[in-house]
């Protein structure tokens, strides 16, 4: 095959890439038995210090213990998690480049972006959930209500006059679903970051917002925000007096989650080794306590369970996003 005579129009790269992939598949069984033989890179599509970065770094020592090799975190933020996620989707599927990201990357982005360069299930091999976090739905204390029912009645009496905001499109989608279910209307205000949105609700620039427990719990306990509800099917230890949405007759499930992925095509034996390492690291008593202290509930799943969760939530959010016409680009 005269590959070198191909014109520089992308065909050369495509042919070489195809040959490399074929050679990797031939060698995959042996590689899986030896894996891992060198350090592993975990790409986090956020900057340092955020939830995904912090939780991943907490797991590093136990993951190294389980796998016998160092694991290095590489922060690759940008474009709503797309830059880092795309890089992992294009990596060699040998278990040495992994991704840790949030639910929005896999369940909302496919509907929010028209030219998303990855598919949540066709571009990745899910390894395991890492943690979950219910969302806290809260208001500024100046809003004259103290329950979700009162808030819904207030919104119906004042359509479009209540502002809500978020530093991520995910917050807009959650708010949109709440409005669809309750037949209410609020005005969305986008912010450059979650911190900016948090400052805005404290200053009453926006009156309503949702965030993970780790973000809002301290503000609720200090009386700076009034909690109306949490997502999920049961109350949480950190805010035991705050009822769930379901308790109040609002059928919204779920919350935020973090999980680990490998590129699609990673041998099943390698995925299983990584899954077992995650179960070991997340289940460690000290790690569990550290997660909980940050508002994250330690949670693992089999690769198959994780894939089903992603498929279910992607369909759920696609319906909300398409109905509202929300776009991120």
Which tokens is 211 given? Answer: 């965030």
Q: Which CATH class is domain 15-26+34-132+255-324?
A: alpha beta
Give the three-class secondary structure for 306.
helix
CATH number of 135-248: 3.40.190.10
In this predicted model, what pLDDT tens digit does every residue of 269-324 receive, in sequence order? 999 999 999 999 999 999 999 998 888 899 999 999 999 999 999 999 999 899 88
Give the model's pLDDT for residue 28: 53
Give the model's pLDDT for residue 15: 42
∠ CA 295-103-24 to the nearest 5 degrees?
120
Q: What Å distances lie between residue 19 and 90, 94, 99, 147, 274, CA to CA?
A: 15, 15, 25, 61, 26
Give the model's pLDDT for residue 30: 58
Please name the residue that has the structure tokens 């009496």.
Answer: 157
8 Å CB contact between 62 and 287:
yes
Phi, psi torsion values for 186, nearest 5 degrees: -125, 170
Where exactly does CATH 3.40.190.10 map onto the chain? 135-248
In angstroms, the CA 210 to CA 171 distance is: 7
Question: By C-alpha distance, which of 12, 35, 19, 6 is closest to 266?
Answer: 35
Where exactly does CATH 3.40.190.150 map onto the chain? 15-26+34-132+255-324
In this predicted model, what pLDDT tens digit does every residue of 9-29 receive, in sequence order? 333 333 444 445 555 555 555
Give the model's pLDDT for residue 166: 87
Q: Output the pTM of the full model.
A: 0.83
In this predicted model, what pLDDT tens digit does every residue of 169-207 receive, in sequence order? 888 898 999 999 999 999 999 888 788 889 999 999 999
């Amino acid at each position: 095959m005269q590959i070198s005579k191909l014109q520089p129009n992308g065909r050369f790269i495509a042919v070489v890439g195809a040959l490399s992939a074929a050679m990797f598949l031939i060698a995959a069984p042996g590689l899986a038995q030896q894996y891992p033989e060198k350090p592993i890179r975990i790409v986090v599509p956020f900057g340092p210090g955020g939830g995904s970065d912090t939780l991943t770094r907490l797991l590093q020592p136990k993951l190294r213990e389980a796998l016998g090799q160092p694991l290095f975190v590489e922060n690759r933020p940008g474009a709503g998690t797309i830059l880092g996620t795309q890089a992992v989707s294009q990596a060699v599927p040998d278990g040495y480049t992994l991704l840790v990201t949030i639910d929005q990357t896999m369940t909302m982005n496919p509907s929010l972006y028209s030219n998303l360069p990855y598919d949540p299930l066709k571009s990745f091999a899910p390894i395991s959930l890492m943690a979950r976090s219910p969302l806290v739905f809260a208001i500024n204390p100046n809003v004259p209500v103290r329950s979700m029912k009162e808030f819904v009645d207030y919104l119906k009496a004042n359509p479009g006059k209540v502002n809500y905001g978020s530093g991520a499109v995910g917050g807009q989608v959650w708010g949109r679903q709440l409005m669809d279910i309750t037949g209410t209307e609020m005005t969305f205000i986008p912010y450059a970051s979650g911190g900016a949105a948090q400052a805005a609700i404290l200053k009453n620039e926006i009156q309503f917002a949702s965030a993970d427990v780790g973000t809002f719990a301290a503000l609720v306990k200090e009386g700076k925000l009034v909690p109306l509800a949490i997502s999920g099917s049961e109350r949480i230890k950190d805010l035991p007096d705050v009822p769930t949405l379901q308790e109040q007759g609002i059928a919204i499930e779920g919350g935020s989650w973090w999980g680990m992925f490998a590129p699609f095509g990673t041998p099943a034996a390698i995925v299983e080794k990584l899954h077992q390492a995650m179960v070991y690291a997340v289940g460690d008593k000290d790690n569990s306590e550290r997660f909980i202290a940050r508002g994250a509930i330690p949670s693992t799943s089999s690769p198959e369970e994780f894939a089903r969760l992603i498929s279910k939530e992607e369909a759920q959010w696609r319906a909300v996003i398409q109905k509202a016409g929300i776009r991120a680009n």
